[in-house]
Structure 1
Amino acid sequence: MIRAIIVDDEQWTRDIIKRFGSWQELDMEIVGEAEDGLEAERLIQMFAPQLVITDMHMPGAGGVELLKYLNESHPEIKIIVVSGYDDFEFTRHAIRYKVNEYLLKPIDAAELNHALGKCKAELEAEPAGSGGYVPFDADILHLIKRYKLLLSVHYHELNEEGIRHVLDAFLQELQSAGYSDKTWMRQLYQEFLSHLKELMVSNSVELGQVEFDSELMLPGLEGMVQQLGERYLTSLQLLIQQRKFRNKLNLDEIKTFIDYNFAESISLEKVARSFFVSKEYLSKIFKQEFGQNMTDYVQQVRMIKAKEWILQGIPIKTVAEMCGYEELGYFYRVFKKQHGIAPGELRKGTHEV
């Protein structure tokens, strides 16, 4: 499998690249995601990818710095630049650092897959070394997905005991399956650290308050899971302190929480409990501040993203799932009520439904 990482500060863009890419057909796998150039460098050192797909305009270490690093330290890595800025300076840097493909946002699925195909052909003509990377098999990928979901649920519910229980179960399952390769464990460790970062950002917890070292200090699976537990629980304690012992409810923080987690099951009761207020108070103050109730805001965020993704060519069924709707018919009704047009009509004449 050809290993790839995606570098973009926008979660939505990374999601779309993941959805649009014909990864299995091209014998490729996404082994990591980063929000800026520095994080990308760490992932490159850990996963030894053969392909980097990166935005150019990012806060902190941006695309230009990343291209320079790749050109100097990893000239063998293929690069696809995906940028929303049709800017001559960015194009000039892309040419200077021998970028393989330069794509503009909004991303076109055919153009993306054409670029991926070209990189695949070049890599097969000039095979690169594995760099010590051990690919995850289907079973462990399923395990990772399942335990990330469970950790997310307990984190959002501020459930420390739930997180401990999930990590204990995770350790037992790993031990039963006989996973013990140290290189593989470092990759798994980094995978869950990235997940924790996403949880912290979505809950407005500053990343600098938790140590995100990528090296294991304790040997074996038990040490790895112990370190993950320490970081998840430290982060959760910070979140609880941040919410519980404050003078005033931060409604912008609640909006940020919704903006990041709109695809999940969000209810007034759950959010109120997570922010240590009554649902009656939250409902009243949210409407006073924003002129609409919280449930309507959640639906509005979902429908804005749904329209954006449909216009970018993502299949309607996939869009419904990405927005948290399991029942497609209900998604159609909500979409038409919000936008005055059915999803299929919106795309008629430009994309297949």
Structure 2
Amino acid sequence: MIKVLLVDDESWNRDIVRTFGSWEEHGMEIAGEAEDGREALRLTEELSPQIVITDMRMPGADGVMLMNNLHAEYPEIKVIVVSGYDDFNYAQNAIRYGAVDYLLKPIDPKELNAVLDKCRRELEEAERGQRAYALDIEVSLCLSSYKQLMRVHFNELNTEGVNLVLAGIRRELELGGAKGSAAFRQAASEMLLLLKELMRGNRLEDELLKAEISHDALASAADVEAYLKALYGGSLELLIGQRKFKNKLNLDEVRQYIDGHFAEAVTLEGLARAFFVSKEYLSKVFKLEYGCNVTDYILGLRMDKAKEWLADENIPIKTVAELAGYEDVGYFYRVFKKHYGVAPGEMRKQNASLKMSNSEG
């Protein structure tokens, strides 16, 4: 039931509102009554009403004071203003603080019930919006780990891995309570956006990605999987064809790829698969060219970027670790200290002290 709070210093006025309102018909109940704004605020905190019907002229804390506080602390509450005076100043205050409507005494039952119905519809619409937003967050959180896996498998040309990710997304949509076309559309849209990003990152354009998502592709979780599998499969074929066309390993391309994906789970095996060479050969020629093996090169990139991000005190150390590709913050601390000889927090303090001494100088 929608809770309603009545506020008026005259009990007989509250009786009239209580009598004229079709409360059950609107799914409402009068949860409490107050004689002034101060008591109304106390009851608002105690009862959590969704609607407040208040008189404007009351001794002590009047309706203006009440609306001011409700607007600041409980902006989601619907306020209906009632006044015995056709006072433009009161009407202005009612509008300024977001009143749903302004009713003049003597109250017309039809007008009262019309505005109650308006409040009910607005509250229901807001609740539907909140549910949709919660579903959006749920779907996005569900997709986040799959997106990380997809980036690795796609860039390594691992078709089997790509299909396993899409099958996992289908199971999540089926078992995780995410039902309906809205959730299916969001999952399809987010994964399509990721695919466009991956294609651009590999300097490829795919005409298939320019088509709109068809209604048939959103009929079920299985249809979403089939739709994405066709798009990802076709795009992978294009990328594989591009890589195979280059019959000679270009180490500069390998290095550029690592530079752009160092925060992901890049491995020697994955790189070798992506560039159609053996991992032994790739490891050997990479070290000859750059003076270090692939693993050390990736570590160096991660540490350089982590050091750079630590210089910005607005970025939490946990976020620095994640940006550098480390989900385990403790492991990040150990690797960082081994690489630089100081812990991340200590380096941040050193940077802060250096900035302070420079500014004083």
Range of TM-score over shorter length: 0.5 to 0.7
Question: What's the counterpart of residue 144 of structure 2?
Answer: 145
What is the match of residue 207 of structure 1? 205
Q: How many residues are treated as equivalent by the alignment?
A: 230
Amino acid at match of 1:317: K
The structural deviation recorded for 1:156 is 3.8
**Partner residue, 1:257:** 257
Report if aligned partners of 2:147, 2:194 keep a CA contact under 8 Å in 1.
yes
Q: Deviations over 1:105-149 (max 9, x none)?
A: xxxxxxxxxxxxxxxx9x9999xx99x994253543332224323
Query: Partners of 1:168 and 1:217 in 2: how far apart?
Result: 20
Question: Contact 2:263–2:324 at 8 Å: present in 1 too?
Answer: yes
Aligned partner of 1:111 in structure 2 is: none
Structure 2 CA distance for partners of 1:217 and 1:248, relative to 1, 3 Å: farther
CA contact (8 A) 1:180 1:220 kept: no
- 5+ residue gaps, structure 2: 1-72, 77-96, 99-124, 354-361
Q: CA deviation at 1:184?
A: 4.1
Mapped to 1, the partners of 2:139 and 2:147 lie a distance apart of 12
Percent identity over paired residues: 46
Q: Is the 8 A contact 1:262 1:301 kept in 2?
A: yes
Superposed CA RMSD: 3.7
The structure in which a higher percent of residues are helix is 2
TM-score of the pair, normalised by structure 2: 0.53
| Aligned mates of 1:168, 1:338 — CA distance in 2 | 39
Aligned partner of 2:167 in structure 1 is 168
Is 1:283–1:294's contact at 8 Å kept on the other side of the alignment?
Answer: yes
Cα 1:288/1:140, change in 2 over 3 Å: same
What does residue range 215-294 of structure 1 map to in structure 2 within 5 Å? 215-218=213-216, 219-221=218-220, 222-294=222-294
Contact 2:310 2:344 in 1 (8 A): yes
SS at match of 2:133: coil
Q: Which has the larger radius of gyration?
A: 2
CA contact (8 A) 1:192 1:228 kept: yes
Are the counterparts in 1 of residues 196 and 209 from structure 2 also a CA contact under 8 Å?
Answer: no
Give the alignment's TM-score, normalised by structure 1. Answer: 0.54
Instruction: Determine the structure 2 residue equivalent to 1:320.
Output: 321
Q: 1:295 and 1:177 mapped to 2: Cα distance?
A: 37
- Tell me, yes or no, if the aligned pair for 2:192 and 2:228 is still in contact at 8 Å: yes
Segments of 5+ residues of structure 1 without an aligned counterpart are 1-120
Aligned amino acid, residue 271 of structure 2: V
- Maintained 8 Å contact 1:200/1:207: yes
Does structure 2 conserve the Cα–Cα contact (< 8 Å) formed by 1:272 and 1:279?
yes
Deviations 1:318-338 (A, max 9, x none): 322332335545534543454
Offset of 1:299 from its aligned partner? 1.0
Higher relative contact order (CA 8 A, sep 6+): 1
- In 1, the alpha carbon distance for the partners of 2:330 and 2:175 equals 42
Structure 1 Cα separation of the partners of residues 175 and 319 of structure 2: 34
Provide the C-alpha distance between the structure 2 equivalents of 1:349 and 1:246, rounded to a whole number of angstroms.
Answer: 48
Q: Tell me the distance in 1 between the aligned counterparts of 2:207 and 2:255.
A: 22
- Compute the displacement of 1:172 (Å): 4.2
Please give the alpha-carbon distance, in whole angstroms, between the structure 2 residues aligned to 1:298 and 1:349.
25
